[in-house]
Structure 1
Amino acid sequence: MDAIVPILIIVGVVVVVVLIWAIATYNGFVRLRNLVQEAWRQIDVELHRRYELIPNLMQTVKGYAAHERQLFQEVTRARAEAATPGSTPAQQARQENELSAAVGRLFAVAEAYPDLRASQSFLALQDELTNTEDRIAAGRRFYNGNVRQLNTRVEAFPPNVIASMFGFRRAEYFEVNDAVVRTAPRVSFADTQGSTGTYAPTTQQPAPGQATPSFGGQRGGYDPSRDAGRPTEGQQPQGYPDELREQ
């Protein structure tokens, strides 16, 4: 009888330790899942801001190139599909690729109209799109970093036992697969005053070995020179609440 007591104590201790570990692991999964969901909501806010800017951009371009009806229809269709609620991150990424390509063609049309490119409203919209895309890019890195941590926990042993028992699943990354879609030329205006004192538009070309600059209308596009101090993947970008910082 006396020999059984120590065994029961050891078994009890092991059960308590396992129970504490299971509770801690479960709570860790809940925290990571909530971080992923909150990071996605922040991206969604910036995506909707982008959707609000695009109609204004189209109206500005229409004032100079009203005959581009087919292009305007493509942009409108791509915007409507991207703004459809209920899409998964992977589906959203594909739709954003199509929208980015359509917006890129819209900016390409604008290159044929110097007066349009010199328009204050056009330049203001371009800057707004640039800022929005920068925030989307930072939010995407934060979201994908949390997704990576959650997926690693779901697949690793022994936490995968708890994940299987309580229905925790892998989350989807939000990323653009086509690098060409992510970039488009940024238009600048070089002062080439001659006898008439007019401005001639020029297009920036990257130096050999330098990444192609892009304007804000493209998914994930941003000027690399402004990337100093940005959060790396998985880090908390500026503008996120402190309680969402990863621990």
Structure 2
Amino acid sequence: MSAVIFLLVLGLLAFFLIGVYNGLVTLRNGYKNAFAQIDVQLQRRHDLIPNLVETAKAYLGHERGTLEAVIAARGGALSALKAAQANPGDPAAMRQLSSAEGLLGGALGRFTATVEAYPELKASANMQQLSEELASTENRIAFARQAYNDGVLSYNNKREVFPNNFVAGLFGFAAAQSLELETPEARQAPKVSF
């Protein structure tokens, strides 16, 4: 009789461990999928920037520093994105991506302010279309980032509550890092007004 009770308790414990493990894996895969959506939108943003700069070059010949700053910030953001793609949720990679995207957002803000001073550039149909696409992409990034951060929160909550924290520690489920924007300017989409 005691052997049956022991086997029953052991079986319940095994089912509990399997359930917690599978739940953690599911939530981890969920936030990694949400990061993939951020990745798509950031890549779209990064692909639009050279077109914006090329369109503006003809009008902003003496504003070369602004254009170069945008391109340099884009390069830094691409590098940070590649590092984050390798391990979504890694705290160091997420901080690096957040910082790089903040710098890019600041550079785009200065670029937009510079464009405001050139009515003929603002009137360009190509510039208007690219600016609208960029603004739309910024909104998509915000939504994707929110979904990612929600996924990270769910995963971290599951791995930190008792007794799941023992299972998470036993199987090496590390905490994931949300993606926060570093500067107040980066928290706002670039303003586009034509």
What is the TM-score normalised by the length of structure 1? 0.71
- Using the alignment, how far apart are the partners of 1:180 and 1:132 within structure 2? 16
Matches within 5 A, 1:46-65: 46-65=41-60
1:187 to 181, 189, 193: 193
- Using the alignment, how far apart are the partners of 1:24 and 1:181 within structure 2? 40
Partner of 1:160: 165
Matches within 5 A, 1:9-88: 9-84=4-79, 85-87=82-84, 88=93
- Using the alignment, how far apart are the partners of 2:105 and 2:141 within structure 1? 13
Does residue 96 of structure 1 match 2:101?
yes
For the residue of structure 1 that corresponds to 2:71, the secondary structure is helix
- Using the alignment, how far apart are the partners of 1:185 and 1:36 within structure 2? 29
Deviations 1:35-92 (A, max 9, x none): 1111111111110111110011011111111111111121111100100111422211
2:117 to 82, 98, 112: 112
For the residue of structure 2 that corresponds to 1:86, the secondary structure is helix
After superposition, the CA RMSD in angstroms is 1.2
Higher helix proportion, which one? Answer: 2
Deviation at 1:18, TM superposition (A): 0.8
What is the TM-score normalised by the length of structure 2? 0.90
Q: Which runs of 5 or more structure 1 residues have no equivalent in the other structure?
A: 189-247
Matches within 5 A, 1:132-171: 132-171=137-176
2:130 to 100, 120, 125: 125
- Using the alignment, how far apart are the partners of 1:186 and 1:106 within structure 2? 11
- Using the alignment, how far apart are the partners of 1:129 and 1:28 within structure 2? 37
For the residue of structure 2 that corresponds to 1:83, the secondary structure is helix
For the residue of structure 2 that corresponds to 1:95, the secondary structure is helix
- Using the alignment, how far apart are the partners of 1:59 and 1:131 within structure 2? 20
Deviations 1:128-158 (A, max 9, x none): 0111111111111111001001111121110
**Which residue type is aligned with residue 132 of structure 1?**
T
Q: Which of the pair has the greater relative contact order for Cα pairs under 8 Å at 6+ separation?
A: 2
Partner of 2:181: 176
- Using the alignment, how far apart are the partners of 1:74 and 1:108 within structure 2? 14
- Using the alignment, how far apart are the partners of 2:131 and 2:68 within structure 1? 20
Q: Which runs of 5 or more structure 2 residues have no equivalent in the other structure?
A: 85-92
Partner of 1:220: none
Conservation of the 8 A alpha-carbon contact between 2:105 and 2:185: no
